[in-house]
Amino acid sequence: MTTTISNRIGYLPRSTRRLLVAAALLCYPVAVAVLVGLKHTSLSRWLILAAFLVLVLATAVLVTVGYVYARGRIEGRCARLDERDLALRQQAYALSHRFLAVILIAATAAIAIYLTNGNTLRIDANSFLPAVMWIVVYIPAMPALMLAWIETDQPADV
Amino acid sequence: MSEDRRVHNRLAVLRAERRLSRKQVADKLGINYQTVGYIERGDYNPSLELALSIAEFFRLPVEAIFSLRPMARLSAEVFGELPADGH
């Protein structure tokens, strides 16, 4: 059963993979936004918590799919990495570095603009923990997700 | 030179001619069988070392397998193409 699922993930077409990667990258920020945005509304707290947990669970599942797709090609656990695998791994690392740099620069710029407008920023557990969680979840997963993003469709078996 | 310049190849034709599967070729060359497919499809340009290994495996000069220009049909190259009216 596990092998069947893992094989199916290995043969996912590029368009589906890209959709899953985009969803994996969006689910956690959306989950945090749901929690923060709906906290002060009249909506039931249980409903908000349920929505948050569903999105966090979706993030975990999608990131796992990314890891399964990469199948040891990122960490080099795979028994035989040929020159194409190594080139692709390098490309995935470079792309994840670029992606993280863009996120970091955008976040820093947004905070800088916010602060220069006379606002103050209070860092407490409510703002710090989601950021830490984002780093914990995405930084290790990013190369596998980027590999799933850049890999072309597998040639048909002949 | 453009990074994504395509290298054309006759790998699929040679493999079919010798009735070899991708896996058989890949095992001999020490690469993954999908890589053979990616090279055949033109999605991956092999390194010089791999291109030379492929040429050695098929016992052909490397330029008979890889080219920067689209390759002519093998039959036309061997026998020469007849004029369109067949004479």
User: What are the structure tokens assigned to B32, written together?
Assistant: 């993954």
Residue B11 touches partner A, C-beta closer than 8 Å: no
- Three-class secondary structure of residue B12 per DSSP: helix
Average pLDDT score over residue span A75-103: 89
Instruction: Tell me which amino acid residue A105 is.
Output: I
How close is the nearest chain B Cα to the Cα of A77, in Å? 15
**CATH code assigned at B54:** 1.10.260.40
How deeply is B81 buried, as exposed, middle or buried, from its count of CB atoms within 10 A (0-12, 13-18, 19+)? Answer: exposed
Establish if B81 belongs to a structural domain: no
Q: What is the pLDDT of residue A157?
A: 67
Asked if residue B86 is part of any domain, the answer here is no
Structural domain includes residue B17: yes
Count Cβ atoms within 10 A of the Cβ of residue B3 and give its class: 0-12 exposed, 13-18 middle, 19 or more buried: exposed
End-to-end CA distance of chain B: 42
- In chain B, which residues have their Cβ closer than 8 Å to the Cβ of A157? 22, 37
Asked if the ipTM is above 0.95, the reply is no
Q: Which two tokens stand for residue A53?
A: 């947990």
Q: What is the pLDDT of residue B1?
A: 45
Considering only the beta carbons, identify the residue of B38, B40, B41 that sits closest to A84. B38
Determine the residue of chain B that is closest to A88 in CA distance.
B44
Q: Answer yes or no: is pLDDT of B48 > 80.
A: yes
Rounded Cα distance between A112 and A103, Å, is 14
Tell me, what's the pLDDT at A1? 65
Cα–Cα distance, B7 to B20 (Å, whole number): 22
Average pLDDT over residues A38-50: 88
For B43, the domain range is 8-71
User: What's this model's pTM, rounded to 2 decimal places?
Assistant: 0.82
B75 part of contact set with chain A, CB < 8 Å: no
B22/A158 Cβ within 8 A: yes
Helix or strand holding residue B66 (H, E): strand B66-67
| Total number of domains constituting chain B | 1
B46 close to A (CB below 8 A) = yes
Decide if pLDDT at A139 tops 80: yes
In a domain, B76, yes or no: no
